[in-house]
Structure 1
Amino acid sequence: MLKYGSSNESVADFYAGKSVFVTGGTGYLGKVLIEKLLYSCEKLDKIYLLIREKKNVSPEKRLQHIFEQPIFKRLKCKGADYMQKVVPIVGDISEPNLAVTEEDEKELREKVSIVFHMAATVKFNEPLKVAMNINFEGTRRVLNLCKKMKQLQTFVYVSTAYTNTNREIIEEVIYPPPASYEEVYTALQQYGDNDKDIRKLLCDRPNTYTFTKALAEHYVAEQQNKIPTVIIRPSIVAPSINEPLEGWVDNWFGATSLMVMIGKGHYRVVAGASSNLIDLIPVDYVSNVSIAAAAKCEGYDGLLVYNCCTSGANPVTYGAVCRCFIEESVRFKLNDIPYPTINFTKHQWLLKTIIFIMQMIPAFFADCFLWLSGKRPRYVKLQRKVLRMNNTQQYFTSRSWVMDSKETQALYASLSDLDKNMFPFNPVSIVWSEYLPVYYKGVKTYLF
């Protein structure tokens, strides 16, 4: 375990007068990280944000739209002209050299001290060729740019805790990659995106997302002797626990869509056991550990890995989360189907039987009623979506992992009381009976 120094410099002081470069800043975690840097590190010089140019929408307009979202409300209340600190850099991680202009690259080379690389495709079943270009090659392109930065102090790569799902206990170390990237490209040339052959290549990884993130993580580790590096491995990123708004969420990824369908009564059986652990981590905790890790690794010449997870220190089960969503859904009268309930099974035949009897047949009769009432049928179509969701998430619900987070907790323990209050991320502090209703309320407020 790393022995952290006794430097009196606060996290905010570390960022004073410095500029950061952020990829993936328009995503869920990225927006929270940018807001937190602007709010809590007031003396920060600039945030250079890699942003794609979209048809008929300029990067400046996209940035303005982002700042109109509710999470930036407290910054507006401060009255500071925070938008002037965020500089859009037109580019794309899927393009050679990030598609950044020479002028912009020169400014990044001269001024950037910290890089947060969060951009990725999070689609589980993206074609391998596409996932490799974004998750692996995109990371390589960012690192190539980092090597040219004259003032670079830290490179922070946001990976995922599920890069090593072939292990039941996942520690804060770099494990051997599932394959070499040379092997991957050879296979792609030989097989294309033939699903059957690609499945063999994934080496126990459930999808192209976790596979390519594992390859990228190993590549980052190989390059760390040239660049001060931190790898952050969040588990299932969930709504904020405190900041910038309690329960803030802006997407249906992770566990959210599954739990909402359970609460509404459309999803009545899950592959796995109710005692299986579901590793949820609030988005503001991921943002805070990323910011703090970049500040506190200064002077350390090795690779640091932080599992931003809860299962090893403060576990919660699928059964507990499902029960909470059902109770909250009924309490707010947001369940579409009367008496929502959930069953767990490890047997595929029973899973399919329950889906047919308790989901498909009721959906068919509900659609018949709608049709006879002159309304458009919708429940069978919804069940098809639920089945696709079941196929995508079954691998994760049917297994249980323990994500060790000793280094993450040691990093938190090394902070001053002021920094602990300003950048909380200790997983032990989460009280699940209090946080899960916040999770549901956030979904209700920001997504429904």
Structure 2
Amino acid sequence: MEYFDNVADFYAGKSILITGGTGFLGKVLIEKLLYSCPKLEKIYLLMRGKKNATPESRLQSMFEQPIFERLKKERIEDLEKVVPITGDIAEENLGLQEDDQNIILEKVAIVIHAAATIRFVEPLQIAMNVNFEGTKRVLNLSKKIKQLQTFVYISTAYANSNRQVIEEIIYPPPASYKHVYEIIEKYGDDAEQTKKLLGDLPNTYVFTKALAENFVAENHGNIPTIIIRPSVVTGSKNEPTEGWIDNWAGATAITTMISLGYLRVLFGKSSNIIDLIPVDFVSNFTIVAAAKCNRSKELRVYNCSSSGTNPLLIGNFFRSFIKEAVQKKKNVIPYPAVIFTKSHFIVKIIIFLTQILPAFVFDCFLRLTGKEARTLKKQMKIINNFYVLEYFTSHSWSIQSTQTQSLFASLTNCDREKFPCDSSSIVWSEYIPVYFDGIISYLL
């Protein structure tokens, strides 16, 4: 058992294996580890080679993003601590070369598994191979690591979205692994059979993440293990720069479309709670929890969320975003607004009158003037996104984070300042403008 004065001390001289490091959370995690744990040894980053791009070239492109600016200004040499390892969680043995595998087995002390396919509409076979089998492969490799001190699995709070109150415990799996593979073998990716298998879970993403959680819980053995469940991950609150965001996932796309005036209706109630958590809070908590976890062989589950401590009403959230757009004159269509309804009929009427019909008329005008007509095509993308996210706007959850809060409370004052991750400290009226400005700066 290892004791240390502060979180950064725990990482001194240690090497980390990270999967999913090129993703939104992964980049923030790598930057924060390098910046705030300056004595860590290496970060081994499992990366796929892509067409015309080696892992090395992909890593260099990643370092060119604004998120790494403060490191470049203050300690650029620390970027050399990140070592790309060619591999893929979707392949047997993670697609590792023997030499690379030996480096991991000999050098690594902490494994953070964040890689996943986050597409809600992913075919079941692909989601199972990446989210379930991929987790299985990473855990199996981790169990062979000689000096492993901590295994961290990044799940999602919505793996258990069929429960209104989500606690920091492992729930029974939504199906047996054997039954899932029987369905795949018999029906492939048949949509009706998949829907029947998912039961009261909304998509293959949360379904396969729930299965992966259970596999980790049942098979981690004596490895100190934690499961971290972020809710809806949004732009950074503070670090490495305010509002940083690099993708349209989660709440970002639909929120932007509403604030710009393209979308004017949501299925659900304005009094529902939306559970947002800034990406730097998730990154900070992951670093803290991984350091603290090595003192216990007991599996720990942490919900990295806000609804249990600092609830935000979805109506207030969207109205605040619209207000930002109007004040900063960023709305494209005049008088943006959002109507909440529980009627599918009313949703279709509003979408037709405020989106499809105006887009069709505008496209006709464009064609008459000899220009390319793409307005309706864009609107259909927005509408499709609306229906994909309908489940999440129409439900309300209380995601409990008692253990998360307790862990933060146990930190020294220095670590609380260095690794802020207490969702009760977020002032939404201050954070929402930061999130909005980040979308404008980094995505639009």
Which range is displaced more, 121-130 or 373-382? 373-382
Residues 213 and 22 of structure 1: CA distance in aligned 2, closer, same or farther (over 3 Å): same
Q: Take 1:344 and 1:384, find their aligned partners in 2: how far apart are those partners?
A: 20
- 1:13-412 alignment to 2 at 5 Å? 13-412=9-408
With the length of structure 1 as denominator, give the TM-score of the two structures: 0.97
Deviation for aligned residue 1:6: 12
Contact 1:224 1:302 (C-alpha < 8 Å) held by counterparts: no
Which range is displaced more, 144-153 or 350-359? 350-359
Deviations 1:298-354 (A, max 9, x none): 221101111000011001111112112211212222222111111000011111111
Deviations 1:68-114 (A, max 9, x none): 11000000111340122111100000000001111111111011000
Matched residue of 1:385: which SS?
A: helix
Deviations 1:242-269 (A, max 9, x none): 0001000000000010011101111010
Deviation for aligned residue 1:367: 2.0
Identical residues among aligned pairs (%): 59
Q: Take 1:429 and 1:97, find their aligned partners in 2: how far apart are those partners?
A: 42
Which range is displaced more, 433-442 or 224-233? 224-233
Matched residue of 2:192: which SS?
A: helix
Contact 1:225 1:302 (C-alpha < 8 Å) held by counterparts: no
Deviation for aligned residue 1:374: 3.0
Kindly provide the amino acid, as one letter, of the partner of residue 50 in structure 2.
Answer: K
Deviation for aligned residue 1:387: 1.4
Contact 2:34 2:79 (C-alpha < 8 Å) held by counterparts: no
Deviation for aligned residue 1:355: 1.0
Q: Take 1:322 and 1:371, find their aligned partners in 2: how far apart are those partners?
A: 34
Contact 2:260 2:330 (C-alpha < 8 Å) held by counterparts: yes
Deviation for aligned residue 1:8: 5.2
Deviation for aligned residue 1:373: 3.2
Q: Which runs of 5+ in 1 are unaligned?
A: none
Deviation for aligned residue 1:372: 3.0
Q: Take 1:384 and 1:57, find their aligned partners in 2: how far apart are those partners?
A: 32
Q: Take 1:61 and 1:300, find their aligned partners in 2: how far apart are those partners?
A: 39
Q: Which runs of 5+ in 2 are unaligned?
A: none
With the length of structure 2 as denominator, give the TM-score of the two structures: 0.98
Name the count of aligned residue pairs.
444
Deviations 1:159-202 (A, max 9, x none): 00000111100000000000011110011011111100111101
Kindly provide the amino acid, as one letter, of the partner of residue 34 in structure 2.
Answer: L
Equivalent of residue 424 in structure 2, options 423, 428, 446: 428
Which range is displaced more, 372-381 or 342-351? 372-381
Contact 1:191 1:197 (C-alpha < 8 Å) held by counterparts: yes
Which range is displaced more, 380-389 or 140-149? 380-389
RMSD: 1.3
Residues 184 and 117 of structure 1: CA distance in aligned 2, closer, same or farther (over 3 Å): same
Contact 1:38 1:44 (C-alpha < 8 Å) held by counterparts: yes
Deviation for aligned residue 1:297: 1.5
Which range is displaced more, 200-209 or 330-339? 330-339
Kindly provide the amino acid, as one letter, of the partner of residue 237 in structure 2.
Answer: I
Which range is displaced more, 286-295 or 51-60? 51-60
Contact 2:46 2:84 (C-alpha < 8 Å) held by counterparts: yes
Deviation for aligned residue 1:225: 2.8
Kindly provide the amino acid, as one letter, of the partner of residue 188 in structure 1.
Answer: I
